């Protein structure tokens, strides 16, 4: 198995559910599941350089990028120190986002996984969750995959998180 599994997909695509399933499947080795939502949740409500617009779009500025760089370095340090890590991420800048992660994870064995979901299904999940800006799932569904390269792509539109996790675990072994 790789040291790091990076799951990239839009909001409400199923990344977090897949990460939970992977943690169960990959036992007895404990895997840490770290999400961009964890980073965002740790930020102050204002002045952090990230804005969520009413249409679901997300804008990030230099203040956020500085904090994000520290986050990436920290995640990489945990993996370098021996932790197995599942990264739940949203590549808003497509290949530039992936490049930042590639640079941070240099020297580590990484499995890059695209998590796709049809916009209508992701939007239904977004509505059911109630903790996302409406429109975020639809706006990110394709955007986050443009120009990004993967070792494996899964689609949660009609496939369960457990089945996707099994496919990922099989690809990483």
Res 129: pLDDT: 87
Question: Does residue 27 have a pLDDT over 90?
Answer: no
- Give pTM, 2 decimals: 0.94
Q: Which is the catalytic residue, given 37, 109, 151, 155? A: 37
Distance CA 1, CA 49 (A): 36
What digits encode the pLDDT tens for the residues 50-60? 998 888 889 99
151 is catalytic: no
Class of domain 4-172 as given by CATH: alpha beta
Domain coordinates in residue numbering, the chain: 4-172
Res 20: pLDDT: 97
């Amino acid at each position: 198995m790789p040291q790091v599994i990076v799951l990239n997909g839009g909001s409400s695509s199923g990344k977090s559910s897949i990460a939970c399933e992977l943690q169960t499947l990959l036992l007895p080795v404990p895997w840490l599941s770290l999400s961009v939502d964890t980073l965002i949740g740790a930020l102050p409500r204002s002045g952090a350089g990230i804005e969520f617009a009413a249409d679901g779009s997300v804008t990030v500025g230099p203040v956020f990028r500085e904090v994000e760089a520290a986050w990436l370095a920290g995640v990489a340090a945990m993996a370098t120190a021996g932790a197995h890590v599942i990264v739940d991420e949203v590549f808003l800048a497509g290949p530039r986002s992936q490049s930042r992660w590639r640079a941070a994870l240099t020297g580590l064995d990484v499995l890059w996984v695209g998590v796709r979901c049809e916009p209508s299904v992701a939007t239904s999940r977004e509505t059911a969750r109630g903790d996302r800006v409406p429109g975020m799932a639809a706006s990110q569904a394709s955007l986050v995959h443009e120009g990004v390269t993967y070792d494996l792509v899964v689609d949660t539109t009609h496939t369960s998180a457990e089945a996707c996790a099994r496919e990922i675990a099989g690809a990483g072994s």
